[in-house]
Chain A
Amino acid sequence: MMGTDWANWLGPAEWQAVRLSIRVSFWATLVSLPLGIFVAYVLARWEFWGKQVLNGLVHLPLILPPVVTGYLLLITFGRRGSVGQVLEALFGIVLSFRWTGAAVAAAVMAFPLMVRAIRLAIEAVDPKLEAAASTLGASKPWVFCTVTLPLILPGIIAGAILAFAKAMGEFGATITFVSNIPGQTQTIPSAIYAFLQVPGGEQAASRLVIVAIVIAMSALLISEFVARRVARLVGGS
């Protein structure tokens, strides 16, 4: 490895895939996080008719074949899909065959993991603490912001990082929904798949495999570290 030119260790096509993967996963996680917290709260604290239906819907991408999820996204959010048509007509947003579509696919696939982690954290918060806050004059939104949210922060961080890692590895739904276009929708997994289809692509593929492992491990370590710091901050002592 002596004399390796690290800046050019990855070829331009590989760099593009890495950058795109990070961008797709970042936005997929960030945009779905508020919705994830809301859905987790609803599932943890509210009792309503049809709760199990919502629960099932949220978890569906976890158990469906990813190709099926991708196909459903395509017929819903594609240019001829019902939601896709409305999005394009009203906001000029096109998802199919764009990196934004890849982000939607990644977000949908990562959503169950995110909700699960946050929901567990919410269920661990003693509702009596929230009742105490309300007797001290805090309205429901304030109780959530000053008591519930800080206490579930480790769970939110864990859920977000889990979702990020899942989004980085998403392949089936992405390739079905937005195909495998270099520079647009070719994330690390699709790039690895593409390199393996051409003769002599193994080297590029294995470099991307190493990158994928490094990113996944870093995400795990960072989440452990941050969650521990936050837990110490909110857990007393």
Chain B
Amino acid sequence: MSLQIELQHSFKDFKLDVAFTAAKGVTVLFGPSGSGKTTLVNAVAGLLRPDKGRIVADDWVLLDTQSRQNLAPHKRRLGYIFQEGRLFPHLTVRQNLLYGRWFAPRDAQGESLDHVVDMLGIGPLLTRRPGALSGGEKQRVAIGRALLSAPKLILADEPLAALDEARKAEILPYFERLRDEVSVPILYVSHSSAEVARLATTVVALKGGRVAACGTPAQVLGDVAAVGVRGAASVLEARVVAHHADGLTELSTVAGALWLPRIPDISGATIRVRIAAQEVILSRDAPQGLSALNVLHGTIADIRLGDGPGAMVTLALGQERLSARITRRSVQVMGLAIGQPCHAIIKSVAVAPEDIGTGRMRAGAL
């Protein structure tokens, strides 16, 4: 299924004007707060009526202001996972989970209660009420409730933003499972580039109400114009080779071995690793006597000088790209030029656990 979205909406001091197509998988709407992400998702859900627009899922028209079609929210068959959960306080967890099922068409193809409860690990909570749940538990129930309404599209509006780091780490894998095990496409709002790197099949970067970039996580996170120099990062695909006794995990990438603090995935699994551009050091010669364990070898594919003292150098590692944020002075002193071979140095501890996610990137990408 593909989702075509064209929207124009004016608020007093803000204008949203976007157009993009979301392929299957997870499409992450990425951008700082105030960039129009939630407005966009609310328009898709029918909770906000835009001035002008067209939203079509395959050939099913949710909204077309030109032909005056505007499906009521309850007819759109969406599973909306809200930032604050929004569970019904007067119903038990089980009743919350089955709320949407009651209204879904009898012949709707949905997940079974048992499967969802099992996948989200909420079996022991079924008879409780939302008031007695922790933040992470509430959010898992909210995911289950959306899933069980047999939706044609899942919307998630910063579902992790209200949670602390530990709870985030608890919930993110469920979204990865959702992406990999459930065929329903997901529109996911986030301002966290770690979430983008882990979850996205497609990323739509929003900035001031407009689409700044659209593509794979690696393309968009590497696009300085879209995400800013501080947010710029690379996403590398890697295979888990072995877990070593000293607490490190050995990964293999197209450009050499990568050693990271122990990660939970099993050997042979393909994972994604997000590496922030400002954590990468460049060296023209093979470095020696260095504490950093990871040295990847590539060719300089792009050099962009910033307005300030910074520069963004992008290395080609086979098909993949690795960006390094260094100073203009270093570019000059080192005499860097496009086409030169170059080494990239990454400290193992510079990659946090939240930067590592499961799943291949190119599968199902644009």
Bound Cα distance A3, B90 (Å): 51
- Counting chain B residues whose Cβ lies within 8 A of the other chain, the interface size class is 20 to 34
**Are B89 and A131 in touch, CB under 8 angstroms?**
no
**Are B103 and A234 in touch, CB under 8 angstroms?**
no
**Are A150 and B74 in touch, CB under 8 angstroms?**
no
Bound Cα distance A132, B85 (Å): 9
Q: Distance (Å) between the CB of B89 and the closest chain A CB?
A: 4
Q: Which residue of A lies closest to B82 (CB)?
A: A132
Bound Cα distance A129, B155 (Å): 16
Which of A128, A129, A132 has most chain B Cβ within 10 Å?
A132
Specify which chain A residues have a CB less than 8 angstroms from the CB of B84 in the assembled complex: 128
Bound Cα distance A132, B96 (Å): 11
Bound Cα distance A236, B80 (Å): 22
Query: In B5-46, which residues have CB < 8 Å from any A CB?
Result: 45-46
B131: Cβ under 8 A from any A Cβ: yes
Bound Cα distance A131, B83 (Å): 13
Contact of B74 among A138, A147, A234, A237 (CB under 8 A): A138
**Are A129 and B103 in touch, CB under 8 angstroms?**
no
**Are A234 and B45 in touch, CB under 8 angstroms?**
no
Specify which chain A residues have a CB less than 8 angstroms from the CB of B72 in the assembled complex: 134, 139
Task: Give how many A-B residue pairs fall within 8 Å (CB-CB).
Answer: 78
Bound Cα distance A129, B89 (Å): 9
Specify which chain B residues have a CB less than 8 angstroms from the CB of A128 in the assembled complex: 82, 84, 86
Specify which chain A residues have a CB less than 8 angstroms from the CB of B103 in the assembled complex: 136-138, 142
B174: Cβ under 8 A from any A Cβ: no
A233: Cβ under 8 A from any B Cβ: yes
**Are A129 and B74 in touch, CB under 8 angstroms?**
no
Q: Which residue of A lies closest to B92 (CB)?
A: A236
Q: Interface digits, A115-138 against B, CB 8 Å rule (1 contact, 0 not)?
A: 000000000001011011111111
Interface residues in A, total, Cβ within 8 A: 24
Bound Cα distance A170, B28 (Å): 63
A200: Cβ under 8 A from any B Cβ: no
Q: Interface digits, B90-107 against A, CB 8 Å rule (1 contact, 0 not)?
A: 100000000110111000
Specify which chain B residues have a CB less than 8 angstroms from the CB of A142 in the assembled complex: 74, 103
Q: Which residue of A lies closest to B145 (CB)?
A: A136
Q: Which residue of A lies closest to B86 (CB)?
A: A132
Specify which chain A residues have a CB less than 8 angstroms from the CB of B90 in the assembled complex: 147, 150-151, 233-236
Given A131-B73, A236-B130, A237-B131, do A136 and B89 touch, yes or no (CB 8 Å)?
no
Q: Distance (Å) between the CB of A122 and the closest chain B CB?
A: 15
Query: In A170-198, which residues have CB < 8 Å from any B CB?
Result: none
Q: Interface digits, B51-94 against A, CB 8 Å rule (1 contact, 0 not)?
A: 00000000000000000000011111111101010101110000
| Cβ contacts A to B, 19 pairs, < 8 Å | A126-B86, A128-B82, A128-B84, A132-B86, A133-B99, A134-B74, A135-B45, A135-B73, A136-B99, A137-B74, A137-B103, A138-B74, A143-B74, A150-B90, A234-B90, A236-B89, A236-B90, A236-B132, A237-B132
List 10 extra interface pairs beyond A129-B88, A132-B86, A139-B72, CB under 8 A. A134-B47, A135-B46, A135-B73, A135-B76, A136-B79, A136-B80, A137-B104, A143-B74, A234-B90, A235-B89
